[in-house]
Chains A and B, each alone.
Chain A
């Protein structure tokens, strides 16, 4: 009996230690780096020639940078769902997914901060936020809560990593001297004593409780950047809950996609099993229904009244210029995933992966629809402006910077997986031991 446990413990460690990039990995990384570099070049042009290189103008004064920012903040919320909410409600099966969710959260929140600086006309005056900050502005609330969320997320990534760092240091022949230095730097103080484990567990529990209100706040405040204005389509008391439900949905979609990729390309089939996909599938259905419910509230209630200011905006979404994108986001981002995932066969890994991609892509366009069409319908008609002020289609610089930020977020996740075990080794081992002793 003891033998079999030891064997599986070694095997778990072997299976889960970070793997070097294969040929496919190298290609993936070089594509991402190329996209990032193009984005950096586009940003250099934007710094040099001003925001005039974008397609934004006086009416559409926020474009895909802001919708991309909302997307990043949204997807980062999943860290709190899977790590904190599941942990506090004693959901055991989510253990192999916690680190995936947490690294998605950290990299997304980092790039949310970067993209919001990219959107600024005067990025070099960023420090004015601290020198002259005024608490009454929702932007200041966002700065405060995003900063807090970032630090809690980093700690929630780091603390559960400590026992794994010890394992990594033990297996130093598997990694080069540089990585070993990093592991030792980050975790050599960790001896795994009962005392340390107790403190660590306590800290994780405290952070898990803390992160839930902070997570709700970051996305609520982000929704208030819109809802605190008078504009049709934004002037809604529904916005906070609407944004949070959408955020949990896109985040879960992102986790499903990442699960499939690791399951497939890192051969973690034994750890991320069909059971995990099935359970996540059920959660995604629930979240899709929830988001759909808020969408009904958000669009159909104003559509019932058809106030003059809302009418142009809604007509453009339902049957006008944005109708293709609108119905794409509703169907591909919510309704079709619900239909697929209601069937047991739909919750197998491959269909789940496809549904995950649909949700993430649909969610990105949904954020675009929240930002842009509203700005094209001001209270007073558009007047005394050149023709190109009346429309908005992002310039190549905007696409390049936006793609660069998305590639950058994926790059952070990719490098993280190269350096650290994406499925927690220590927790997998202890949980296996626990379940075995349970059986005995």
Chain B
């Protein structure tokens, strides 16, 4: 099933539908025909049975399987075996285009005014150079949010991802107070969700459908991972700022270029945010040197509410 799920959710549902019909058709072929009174279309479809035989049935027998669950909550809590996901954010390439943010907000149905991914104008002190710093969840190895959660609604997976189970979250917001990176947002009043997404079974990996009264944050797109795709922000950035991958295989990519993670960090002197807090983030930054764009280019994208704010790291 997982292998079928390569392109989009809609395709996935269609393939699930076919497979479901095939299983029903093969296990009880007689019931299948007898119990269903449908007008035959005459159009035949070839399906692969459980035994590996190719069988042919009329298209009219194909029925959609609604809300086919992808993977169990247990699997979602365990993570993808053998992986350790990391992200490298190259500050020398960012000019506050906000394409990452737009793609992320859209994919996760985030309410207007809230973001999982924020781009900060930073200036460490008066005489140092300003730069743009995209910040999402750091997926810390010592996550302060997970420590304080009273119900195990936010948890650390084997593959390094920190996720939230919105069906368990009680909405106490202790994790928001605990996170020093302000990466968590709360679903204060709910939102309008398109009917097809609202009908989906909830998944921690897609964080959909969104749940009112619970906390959400960047999930490192494990659903995209399972499909073998890069997270939405990585794909959306035209400048290749976000470089995402697996620490175990030591390969990270921004879609157009691929690097050895260890070499990239070594060559460009990668660092992590607020190292002194001991949170051990999975997100690394490359310093804003030899920049592709001057800082000022990004200013036009700053909203009126966010007039230049500079802050020390």
Contact = CB atoms under 8 A, between A and B. Distances in A.
Interface of A: 49-54, 56-59, 61-62, 119-123, 125-126, 128-129, 131-134, 136-140, 143, 225-226, 228-231, 308, 375, 378-387, 389
Given A49-B189, A387-B305, A121 B170 contact: yes
B214 interface: yes
A15 B215 CA distance: 56
Interface stretch (B40-48, B149-157, B200-208, B233-241): B149-157
B30 interface: no
Nearest to B278: A230
Report, nearest first, the 10 A-B pairs whose CB atoms are least far apart.
A121-B171, A52-B189, A121-B213, A52-B188, A381-B311, A139-B150, A137-B150, A50-B189, A386-B113, A122-B171
A380 B174 contact: no
Interface string B294-313: 00000000010110011110
B137 to A, nearest CB: 13
B271 interface: no
A410 to B, nearest CB: 27
Contacts of A380: 118, 120, 135, 181-182, 311
A375 B179 CA distance: 11
Interface in B122-177: 135, 144, 147-153, 168-174, 176-177
Interface in B266-313: 274, 277, 303, 305-306, 309-312
A358 to B, nearest CB: 30
A378 B171 contact: no
B190 A121 contact: no
B155 to A, nearest CB: 10
Contacts of B181: 379-380
From A56, A61, A136, residue with most partner B Cβ within 10 Å: A61
Interface in B224-274: 274
A258 to B, nearest CB: 32
Interface string B30-55: 00000000000000000000000000
B176 A228 contact: no
A56 B299 CA distance: 29
B135 A137 contact: no
Contacts of B178: 228-230
Given A123-B170, A125-B168, A383-B119, 17 more contacts: A50-B188, A51-B186, A51-B213, A56-B188, A57-B186, A61-B186, A121-B172, A122-B213, A122-B214, A132-B152, A226-B177, A229-B144, A229-B178, A381-B120, A382-B182, A384-B101, A384-B303
21 contacts: A50-B190, A51-B213, A57-B188, A62-B177, A119-B173, A120-B170, A120-B213, A121-B170, A121-B186, A121-B214, A129-B150, A137-B147, A137-B150, A139-B148, A229-B178, A380-B118, A380-B120, A384-B101, A385-B305, A386-B305, A389-B113
From B119, B121, B144, B170, residue with most partner A Cβ within 10 Å: B170
B187 to A, nearest CB: 8
B148 A228 contact: yes
A128 B189 CA distance: 22
A119 B182 contact: no
A57 B114 CA distance: 10
B180 interface: yes
B197 interface: no
B115 interface: yes
A50 B189 CA distance: 5
Nearest to B115: A384
Nearest to A143: B150
Nearest to A226: B177
Interface of B: 101, 113-115, 118-121, 135, 144, 147-153, 168-174, 176-178, 180-182, 184-190, 212-215, 274, 277, 303, 305-306, 309-312
From A52, A59, A229, residue with most partner B Cβ within 10 Å: A229
A131 B151 CA distance: 8
Contacts of B170: 120-123, 125-126, 128-129
Contacts of B277: 230
B277 to A, nearest CB: 6
Given A128-B170, A137-B150, A381 B309 contact: yes
Given A129-B170, A387-B305, A51 B311 contact: no
Given A121-B214, A378-B182, A308 B312 contact: yes
Contacts of A385: 113-114, 305-306
Contacts of A383: 118-121, 306, 309
Contact of A122 (B148, B169, B184, B303): B169
Contacts of B189: 49-53
Nearest to A54: B188
Contact of A375 (B118, B177, B184, B212): B177
B214 A137 contact: no
From B135, B153, B188, residue with most partner A Cβ within 10 Å: B188
B114 A58 contact: yes
A128 B173 contact: no
A123 B213 CA distance: 9
A66 to B, nearest CB: 9
A225 B174 contact: yes
A379 B180 contact: yes
A139 B174 contact: yes
Contacts of B152: 132, 134
A50 B185 CA distance: 15
Contacts of A143: 150
Contacts of B176: 58, 61
A57 B113 CA distance: 11
Contact of A59 (B149, B168, B182): B182
Contacts of A137: 147-150, 174
A233 B116 CA distance: 25
Contacts of A126: 170
A119 B180 CA distance: 22
B113 A229 contact: no
B154 to A, nearest CB: 11
Contacts of A120: 170-172, 213
Contacts of B118: 380, 383-384
Contacts of B182: 58-59, 378-380, 382
B212 to A, nearest CB: 5
A134 B150 contact: yes
Given A119-B172, A228-B178, A387-B305, A50 B212 contact: yes
Given A51-B213, A134-B152, A386-B305, A62 B173 contact: yes
